[in-house]
């Protein structure tokens, strides 16, 4: 009977394990994680990007403050003319919401001139005045003639 | 050169964009003219009258309207029959109306009620005088 017991032993073991699994379930032994730090940090989980089934807006909005809206018109007051002749700067009335960088880009786009620096102030009547200093290789007077407000 | 909406509708998107750009540059030059104080003005703050400005402004409005209308019509075609449409292409009406039961939903009856109506309808009769 020796061969029978040696072959029967693993089969008995397997049957016993199956019986235990059926009666008690397979998650009976709970292993607790060893925590070596007192702080609990939020575990990193999977973060999916959005894949909307439809765009909420049919078309994305186009910016309303484009180059044409930023620069309203140039000033040709006496002090502005002085700036043109002496400092190589043009003086514009711009939209109040425009910042210096936007004004610089707008001037570049509309009149094809590069500005060295832009100084702005808000007039007492609420409009924004921009002093746009042009690059040394461009003459402000010539640009002013080209724009047409001399 | 008067800008007409029905003529604009035959143009392509690129052509309309170019028209818009041209009109805006024209408007800019008109504004320069409007605000340029010639040395003969009594008050330096006087605006000159440039009547063409109103026509150009309205022309810009027309081009923008046509661009937007054509775009939205095309999008409605694109989403026709789709399960989900963008919110601005959906019916607007009012918030309350959008939340009401639809006519189909209102007409729904339970099986029991339909059977009852079928078997025991309201009879109309007259009594002979």
- Which tokens go with A147? 């724009």
CA separation, residue B70 to residues A4, A47, A100, B6 (Å): 88, 39, 36, 12
Share of chain B above pLDDT 70, in %: 92
CB pairs under 8 A between A and B: 51
Give the confidence band of A52 by pLDDT, cuts at 50, 70, 90: very high
Provide mean pLDDT across the span A89-102.
97
Instruction: Give pLDDT, residue A18.
Output: 87
Least confident of A89-98, B36-45, B60-69: B36-45
Provide mean pLDDT across the span B55-74.
96
Q: What CATH architecture applies to the domain B5-99?
A: Orthogonal Bundle (1.10)
Structural domain contains residue A59 = no
Give the confidence band of A149 by pLDDT, cuts at 50, 70, 90: confident
Structural domain contains residue A43 = no
Our CA-based measurement puts residue A72 at a distance from the nearest CA of chain B, in whole angstroms, of: 7
Under a CB-based contact definition with an 8 Å cutoff, are residues A99 and A66 in contact?
Answer: no
Listed in sequence order, the residues at least 6 apart from B89 whose beta carbon sits closer than 8 Å to its beta carbon are: A58, B72, B75, B76, B79
Structural domain contains residue A137 = yes
Structural domain for A110, as ranges = 67-147
From B18, B3, B16, B2, select the one nearest B71 (Cα to Cα).
B16
Q: Please, what is the angle between helix B52-78 and helix B13-35, to 10°?
A: 160
Instruction: CATH number of the domain at A98, please.
Output: 3.30.70.330
Under a CB-based contact definition with an 8 Å cutoff, are residues B27 and A144 in contact?
Answer: no
Least confident of B10-14, B33-37, B116-120: B33-37
> Does A54 contact B82 at a Cβ distance shorter than 8 Å?
yes
Which residues in chain B are contacts of A64 at CB distance < 8 A? none
Which residues in chain A are contacts of B82 at CB distance < 8 A? 54
Beta bridge pairs of residue A118: A132
Which residues in chain B are contacts of A58 at CB distance < 8 A? 72, 75, 86, 88-89
Q: What is the pTM of this model?
A: 0.77
Euclidean distance between CA atoms B42 and B72, whole angstroms: 50
Structural domain contains residue A123 = yes
C-beta atoms surrounding B26 within 10 Å: 15
Structural domain contains residue A86 = yes
Euclidean distance between CA atoms B119 and B90, whole angstroms: 42
- Quote the mean pLDDT of chain A: 91
Instruction: Answer whether residue A1 shows pLDDT above 60.
Output: no
| Total domains, chain A | 1
Write down the domain spans for chain B.
5-99
Structural domain contains residue A42 = no
Instruction: Answer whether residue B43 shows pLDDT above 80.
Output: no
Structural domain contains residue A76 = yes
Of A58, A75, A149, the CB nearest to B72: A58
Give the confidence band of B37 by pLDDT, cuts at 50, 70, 90: low
Task: Kindly identify which residue of chain A lies nearest to residue B72, measuring between CA atoms.
Answer: A58
**pLDDT tens digits, residue range A129-141?**
999 999 999 999 9
**pLDDT tens digits, residue range B81-123?**
999 999 999 999 999 999 999 999 999 999 999 999 999 999 9
Give the confidence band of A9 by pLDDT, cuts at 50, 70, 90: confident
């Amino acid at each position: 009977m020796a061969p029978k017991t040696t072959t029967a032993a693993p089969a008995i073991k397997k049957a016993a394990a199956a019986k235990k699994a059926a009666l008690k379930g397979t998650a009976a032994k709970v292993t607790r994680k060893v925590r070596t730090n007192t702080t609990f940090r939020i575990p990193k989980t999977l973060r999916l990007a959005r894949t909307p089934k439809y765009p909420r807006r049919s078309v994305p909005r186009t910016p309303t403050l484009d180059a044409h809206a930023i620069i309203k018109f140039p000033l040709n007051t006496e002090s502005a003319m002085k700036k043109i002749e002496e400092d190589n700067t043009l003086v514009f009335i711009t939209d109040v919401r425009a910042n210096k960088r936007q004004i610089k880009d707008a001037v570049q786009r509309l009149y094809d001139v590069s500005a060295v620096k832009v100084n702005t102030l808000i007039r007492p009547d609420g409009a924004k005045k921009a002093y746009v200093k042009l690059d040394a290789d461009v003459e402000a007077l010539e640009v002013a003639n080209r724009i047409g407000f001399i | 050169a008067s800008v007409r909406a029905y003529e604009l509708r035959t143009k392509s998107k690129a052509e309309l964009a170019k028209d818009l750009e041209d009109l805006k540059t024209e408007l800019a030059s008109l504004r320069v003219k409007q605000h340029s104080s010639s040395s003969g003005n009594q008050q330096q703050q006087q605006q000159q009258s440039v009547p063409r400005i109103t026509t150009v402004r309205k022309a810009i409005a027309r081009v923008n309207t046509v661009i937007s209308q054509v775009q939205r019509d095309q999008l409605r075609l694109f989403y026709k029959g789709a399960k989900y449409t963008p919110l601005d292409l959906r019916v607007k009406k009012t918030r309350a109306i959008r939340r009401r039961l639809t006519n189909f939903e209102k007409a729904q009856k339970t099986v029991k009620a339909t059977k009852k109506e079928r078997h025991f309808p309201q009879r109309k009769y007259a009594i002979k005088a």
